[in-house]
């Protein structure tokens, strides 16, 4: 009798991503005209930067954002595929 052995390569589970929290002032975009918002990296990605132009268009708001120096999102774990920019309307803000 022949026995076949196969080795199963097991990978350790990925460690959770380090959490970084910051506080920022809220910006009111209801006024007419445009507002500029600057972004800067944290200790997790110090080289990252960006800026956004937020403009009230009456019943809608336009956001034109540009970012530089962002590493691939998967740097923080294979489950992270992309970055998300959040905007909360005043109707749902606490």
Please compute the mean of the pLDDT values over residues 44-63 and round it to a whole number: 88
Note whether residue 72 is domain-resident: yes
Average pLDDT over residues 51-67: 88
pLDDT tens-digit profile of 1-42?
A: 344 444 455 555 556 667 777 777 777 766 677 888 888 888
pLDDT of residue 47: 95
Residue 18 lies in a domain: no
Strand 49-56 relative to strand 34-40: parallel, antiparallel, unpaired?
antiparallel
Q: Cβ(38)–Cβ(64) under 8 Å?
A: no
Domain that holds residue 51: 32-94
Q: Establish if 84 belongs to a structural domain.
A: yes
Number of domains in the chain: 1
């Amino acid at each position: 009798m022949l026995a076949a052995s196969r080795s199963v390569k097991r990978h350790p589970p990925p460690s959770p991503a380090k959490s970084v929290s910051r506080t920022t002032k809220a910006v009111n975009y209801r006024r007419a005209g445009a507002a500029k918002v600057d972004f800067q990296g944290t200790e997790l990605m110090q080289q990252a930067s960006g800026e956004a132009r937020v403009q009230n268009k009456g019943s809608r708001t336009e956001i034109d954002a540009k970012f530089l120096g962002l590493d691939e999102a998967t740097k923080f774990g294979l489950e992270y595929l992309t970055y998300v920019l959040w905007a909360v309307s005043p109707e749902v803000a606490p």
